[in-house]
Structure 1
Amino acid sequence: MSEPRVAAPVIDPDNKPKGPASYFPSIEKTYGKPMQEWLDLVVERLDGGAKHMEAVAWLKEEHGLGHGHANAIVGYVKNALA
């Protein structure tokens, strides 16, 4: 398997991340999937031409994520791909 285009960060519990990654531990706990799965899904969606808010809406509608969590994932991916 190839390396992901956007790799999930390793989060040090003693050093809380800033920005969108600060949501990642809660996202994993709440929705039961590792962050890499969420990041890969969003990369694929954005590669398919979805805009930021379209990807956010898709995560909310298809996967049941809350707005803040969905927005954090999409923002993280977009920043990493820029």
Structure 2
Amino acid sequence: MAEEPIKGPASYFPSIEKKYGRPIGEWQELVRKALPAKHMELVAMLKDAHGMGHGHANAVVAHVLAAEKN
């Protein structure tokens, strides 16, 4: 039985690691350290301070915030 493809924000993680050269855990930690900032403030931080594209930044932030709710 084939593995189900990864869906949602985590589906971006391999391309984020490849494009920006850092493990996803480092990006997630940057976001966690900036909490309790709002979603779009966190996205802007990744874009402005680290040159991340909007979709990639949004995926990292969405994943971290979803994990923080649990």
Q: Tell me, yes or no, whether TM beats 0.5.
A: yes
Q: Specify the code of the residue in structure 1 equivalent to 2:33.
A: E
Letter in 2 for 1:31: Y
Q: Which residue of 2 aligns with 1:29?
A: 18
1:74 Cα offset (Å): 0.3
2:32 corresponds to 1:61: no
Unaligned runs of 5+ residues in structure 1 are 1-13
Cα displacement string for residues 52-72 of structure 1 (whole angstroms, at most 9, x for unaligned residues): 000000100000000000000
Letter in 2 for 1:52: H
Aligned length: 67
What is the alpha-carbon distance in structure 2 between the residues aligned to residue 45 and residue 75 of structure 1?
A: 14
1:16: how far off?
2.6
Aligned residue runs from structure 1 range 1-82, under 5 A: 15-46=4-35, 49-82=36-69
Q: What RMSD in Å do the two structures reach over aligned CA positions?
A: 1.0
Using structure 2 for the length normalisation, give the TM-score: 0.91
Letter in 1 for 2:8: G
Shift of 1:50: 1.0
Structure 2, unmatched stretches of 5+, are none
Counterparts of 1:79 and 1:41 in 2: how far apart (Å)?
Answer: 15
**Between the two proteins, what is the percent identity of the paired residues?**
61
Q: Structure 1-normalised TM-score?
A: 0.78
- The answer to which structure has the higher helix fraction is 2
